[in-house]
Amino acid sequence: MTIKDAAERTGISVDNLRYYERIGLIPEIPRTESGIRDYDELALSWIDFAMRFKRGGMSLEAIREYIQLALQGEDTKPARKEILIEAKDSLEKKMAEIQESLDVINYKLGTYDQKCEPITMEIVNAWKKSKKEKLIK
């Protein structure tokens, strides 16, 4: 299939597919005799594999390193495992930060009418008052 077809199937732009191949994020795509990229199901599997890491927050550099190591064979298993451990630690940190933000929002929603809205209006009114006073001066 053409790169355009692959882009439609994967939801990744043609430019990004070319870029990902160029930087080694996905292995080199086979080409037709005329030099046109010829994506097959295996290529799409590689793209899906890399994008799962990307959606998980792994940097393109780390994904590329992982894939290049995987292509080198079993001897790279410890290094690949270390990349995954680092990605997991980073993702767990982000998840904790997101959970903390969600907890704050849930608290504010739970106390919205009693606390949050009155405080918000107090701040808004103070801001409006300060603006009026600056206009008068």
Q: Is the dihedral of CA 64, 95, 78, 43 positive or negative?
A: negative
Q: Which fold has domain 1-72?
A: Multidrug-efflux Transporter Regulator; Chain: A; Domain 2 (1.10.1660)
**What confidence score (pLDDT) does residue 69 get?**
94
Q: Mean pLDDT for each consecutive 10-residue tract of the chain (137 residues)? A: 95 95 88 93 92 91 93 95 94 94 92 82 91 74
What are the residues whose beta carbons fall under 8 Å from the beta carbon of 19, sequence distance 6 or more?
Answer: 25
Question: What φ, ψ does residue 71 adopt, rounded to 5°?
Answer: -65, -20
| pTM confidence score | 0.67
User: What was the pLDDT predicted at 137?
Assistant: 64
Ranges of each domain in the chain: 1-72
